[in-house]
Amino acid sequence: MSDDQTPADELNEFADAAVDQIEALKAEIQGLKEQVLRYAAEAENTRRRAEREANDARAYAIQKFGKDLLGAADNLARALAAAPADSADGVVKTFVVGVEMTAKSLQSAFESNGLKKIEPDKGTKFDPHQHQAMMEQLSTEVAGGGVIQVLQPGYELLGRLIRPAMVVVAAKGSTGPSPGGEPTGAANPYAAHGDDDAGGAVDTKA
């Protein structure tokens, strides 16, 4: 304390210094809080990114494996389609039953891993996001733009298309009933969906 400084002045000076120090500590604490929150947010983002990448890698692995097995599923379906329906030969019957069980088991394995078959019913409206039109035909049973026949089922994995269903589509001018039950000439089923759809235009090479 200087000679001209009273105890009150000294106390005020000490109080001012304490206030300044408290404000500095508050600012430092606030800065540390913001830093902790930033680190926590970065850690959470890193965790989410790692989880997303792991899920993508797992989905890609399943997708590749699933694609490799689609050929087997198609061959089993063809074998069942070609199998004699009413054979008197017990060996043939047993063989057909075995093929049926194998096909069902494979489909069950697909479904348990998120691989879903796309096989639209007759008359279902053509969906370029899931179907690929291989040809068009005039029909008196299906309205224009509806599926007449499935040539090959499609598949999607966890909502992501990995193969569109190959279908025959009723051409414009078909007179079959619409999904609502009324006959219709139907507009072009491909016109309203743009060029970036999964199935889209008719494959004239089929």
**109 three-state secondary structure:** helix
Burial 43-68 (b: 16+ CB within 10 A, else e): eeeeeeeeeeeeeeeeeeebbeebee
CATH C-level class of 1-113: alpha beta
The CATH number for 116-193, chosen from 2.30.22.10, 2.40.128.260, 3.30.70.20, 1.10.1740.10, is: 2.30.22.10
pLDDT tens for the chain, residues 1 to 206: 555 667 777 777 778 788 888 989 998 999 899 999 999 999 999 999 998 888 777 777 778 888 888 988 999 988 888 888 777 788 888 888 999 999 999 989 888 888 899 999 999 999 999 999 999 999 999 999 999 999 999 999 878 899 999 999 999 988 878 764 444 444 445 443 444 445 555 554 44
- How does DSSP classify residue 83? S
Residue 15: the pLDDT is 80
Residue 200's pLDDT is what? 58
Domain boundaries, the chain: 1-113, 116-193
- Residues 127-153 as b/e (b if ≥16 CB within 10 A, e otherwise) read bbebbbbbbbeebeebbbbbbbbbebb
Rg of the chain over Cα atoms, rounded to whole angstroms, equals 34
Within 13 Å of residue 62, how many CA atoms lie on the same side as its CB?
Answer: 20
Which two tokens mark 104?
């069902």
Q: Is 2 helix (H, G, I), strand (E, B) or coil?
A: coil
Neighbouring C-beta atoms of residue 196, cutoff 10 Å: 8
The pTM for the full model equals: 0.57
Residue 160 forms beta bridges with which residues?
Answer: 157
